[in-house]
Amino acid sequence: MMAALATEGLTRDFGGFRAVADVTLALAQGARHAVIGPNGAGKTTLVNLLTGALRPSAGRVRLGGEDVTALPQHARVKRSLVRTFQINQLFPDLSPEEAVTLALLEREGLTTRWWRPVAAHGAVLAEARALLDSLRFTPAEMRAGTRSLAYGRQRLLEIALALALKPRVLLLDEPAAGVPPGESRAVLEAVAALPRDVTVLLIEHDMDLVFRFAERITVLAQGAVLAEGAPEAIARDARVREVYLGEATHG
């Protein structure tokens, strides 16, 4: 089957330093895939290569079979590769349902009418509520000011805004960063429950969340793929324990 997202020999050098080294990955349609690795392993650089924020020194990125290596970020978003936004500073005074409605209108190219009250777009508002409901927002949370929401809910709102763009591939870069442990599980559970027409690549430090969520894990170390496999195999892998789990346990 054609991969939803794939890389071939993806490499990025910064001067003489190789931050991402010959990374080959393939995510099947509907995959729940995680990339883990110790600090400095190259995870953020990899995400930037996938989104088009950075150009590779060598190698390719394919989306649904199409070679997008030379395409800029917005062209990849148009092809339904979407990463979560850091929206916390963007719409603190809007409610989640208003923010998601605006994102849906933006997607539909209806933002020329942005000055109309959000409530005037009844069908779009209903779609926004359904999306937030699928991420387990309560009606009261949907209508609250974003700044008053718990931090875990704010991170889920970021995911809702990304989903409003109807991604085929969703990149989640540490979606639970800064979220208290009690809330972070709810964030990942909501993500795990997304429909399978969305392929999800999770970059995450929290091993507990990764093993709950991922069906396949790639471990990066010093920019290169150290191991890839099902969570149980990764958890047993001696090299992985040495570079990553050992660090998590002792560090």
Ligand X SMILES: Nc1ncnc2c1ncn2[C@@H]1O[C@H](COP(=O)(O)OP(=O)(O)OP(=O)(O)O)[C@@H](O)[C@H]1O
Tokens representing residue 250 in the block: 């002792």
**Residue 53 or residue 235: which is nearer to ligand X going by CB?**
53
Sort 74 into a burial class: Cβ within 10 Å, 0-12 / 13-18 / 19+.
exposed
**Residue 54 or residue 128: which is nearer to ligand X going by CB?**
54
Residue 155 binds ligand X (CB under 6 A) = no
> Considering only 35-43, 80-88, 113-121, 194-202, which stretch makes contact with ligand X by CB under 6 A?
35-43
**CA distances, 226 to each of 18, 29, 110, 190, 219 (Å):** 15, 23, 46, 29, 5
Residue 44 binds ligand X (CB under 6 A) = yes
Amino acid at 177: A
Residue 19 binds ligand X (CB under 6 A) = yes
Question: Any idea what the Cα angle at residue 97 is, between residues 91 and 98, rounded to 5°?
Answer: 50
**Residue 13 or residue 127: which is nearer to ligand X going by CB?**
13
> Considering only 11-19, 24-32, 79-87, 181-189, which stretch makes contact with ligand X by CB under 6 A?
11-19
The distance of closest approach from Cβ of residue 38 to ligand X in the complex, given in angstroms and rounded to an integer, is: 7
From candidates 33, 43, 129, 153, binder to ligand X by CB under 6 A: 43
Tokens representing residue 57 in the block: 């020194």
Neighbours of 230 (CB within 10 A): 12
Give the length of the chain: 251
The distance of closest approach from Cβ of residue 221 to ligand X in the complex, given in angstroms and rounded to an integer, is: 9
> By CB under 6 A, how many residues form the interface with ligand X?
11
Tokens representing residue 156 in the block: 């889920």
Residue 21 binds ligand X (CB under 6 A) = no
Residue 42 binds ligand X (CB under 6 A) = yes
Return phi, psi of residue 60, to 5°. Answer: -135, 155
**Residue 142 or residue 209: which is nearer to ligand X going by CB?**
209
Give dist(CA 45, CA 113) in Å, integer: 38
> Considering only 42-50, 97-105, 129-137, 148-156, which stretch makes contact with ligand X by CB under 6 A?
42-50
**Residue 37 or residue 152: which is nearer to ligand X going by CB?**
37
Tokens representing residue 196 in the block: 């399978």
Question: Any idea what the Cα angle at residue 59 is, between residues 54 and 64, rounded to 5°?
Answer: 85
The distance of closest approach from Cβ of residue 51 to ligand X in the complex, given in angstroms and rounded to an integer, is: 13
Residues that bind ligand X (CB under 6 A): 14, 17, 19, 37, 39-45
